Amino acid sequence: MMPLQPILNDSSTIEEPEPFPEGLKSNVPLREFDSVYDVVVGLRKDMPMREKMEILLKFYQQEIVAAIEQADSSGKTFITDEWSRGEGLGGGITRVFQDGRVFEKGGVNFSAIYGSLPPAAVQRMKANHKDIHIPDNCKLPFYACGLSLVIHPRHYLAPSVHMNYRYFETRNEDGTPQAWWFGGGQDLSPMYYNEADAVHFHKLLKDVCDHHDPTYYQRFKKWADDYFLIKFRGEARGIGGIFFDDMNEKEAEEHFLFVADALSRFLPSYLPAVRRAYEPSNEPRPTPEEGRHWQSLRRGRYVEFNLAVDRGTSFGLQTPGSRVESILMTLPKNASWEYNYHPTPGSLEAKTVEVLKNPKDYV
């Protein structure tokens, strides 16, 4: 296929906007920081951390699912798939959306599982967690819960988004916690780079980080820039966000409040970028044919990262008895590859690649 031609700033490239989806017109309000106990029904400070995290993550799964359904403006709803790993081993709730008006595919998955780590996994964990005690049988009981989300919009000007927040603890033989840590983050993957979307997304994340620790944002942004790099391509999957793992440097309650506030910023950080794709603009834009072609190629990059780079996907696919459909729900419905494809210098596509190859500060 011939390379895309440069997009010039003249009226011939200004497309009539698609009809505005009614569900995208409402704004998502920002919640007060540290208000989680006032917002989430049934949540109490005196609960064990694993109970608090389950309640928190289920609350935001429901809230995000409802918001995506409303924004889609089609009347479509998420498929719900509740699953169990067996007696005493936990399970989860997989929520999947496909073929909507605004969103082509997405998933919002909750899981809470119990099990025993094999000796090799325990030894790897001890490298970062010196307080882990290995029992005589060399099998370490653990608990893990998480909320994982990926959304792929239909419009080529609307970015894909990923979010994941999780809690992990090893357990003593009597079921009490031994070592524990939090992890997670969220990142944005635009098909076409939009400065306003990038600044808004990063600003809300920085506000959360700064409220809890002024060192968090720069540390976690750098971690995201490094983690979401497709090394064999020399470019990032998107424009990053924040990413962290093995977080246990403070009291567990402090980390819990940070995760809760970060979750509260997901919808207000993301939906305005989807809305902007449908708003009229005097900025140069690709034609629908060009946009869909480039979107398909960028989705190919998304697939490359998830299958060839992402440690979570690799771990999940190699785990016996794993739910492959839930793991691979992160992949877009459509993606493509073209041999040795390079966008035309000076085009909107080339400008996007330049940003992906050179991470920058947005706030």
Q: Which residues are catalytically annotated?
A: 162
Q: Which of 210, 208, 209, 188 is nearest to 199 (CA)?
A: 188
Q: DSSP of 57-72, one letter per residue? A: HHHHHHHHHHHHHHHH
Distances (CA, A) of 26 to 73, 103, 150, 262: 12, 17, 22, 21
Q: Would you state the structure tokens that stand for residue 293, as one six-digit string?
A: 């072609």
Q: Helix 216-227 and helix 195-212: axis angle, to 10°?
A: 130
Evaluate whether 277 touches 157 at the Cβ level (below 8 Å): yes
Helix (H) or strand (E) holding 122: helix 119-126
Residue ranges in 137-265 assigned as alpha helix (H):
195-212, 216-227, 252-264
Apex 338 CA angle, 333 and 340, nearest 5: 140
Beta strand ranges found along 64-102 (DSSP E): 79-84, 90-98
Q: Which residues contact 153 (CB under 8 A, 6 or more apart)?
A: 102, 103, 104, 159, 160, 274, 277
Q: Which residues contact 168 (CB under 8 A, 6 or more apart)?
A: 142, 143, 144, 180, 181, 182, 183
240-247 vs 235-236, strand pairing mode: unpaired
- Coil, helix or strand at residue 290: helix
Apex 170 CA angle, 116 and 214, nearest 5: 140
Task: Identify the residue whose tokens are 């409802």.
Answer: 66
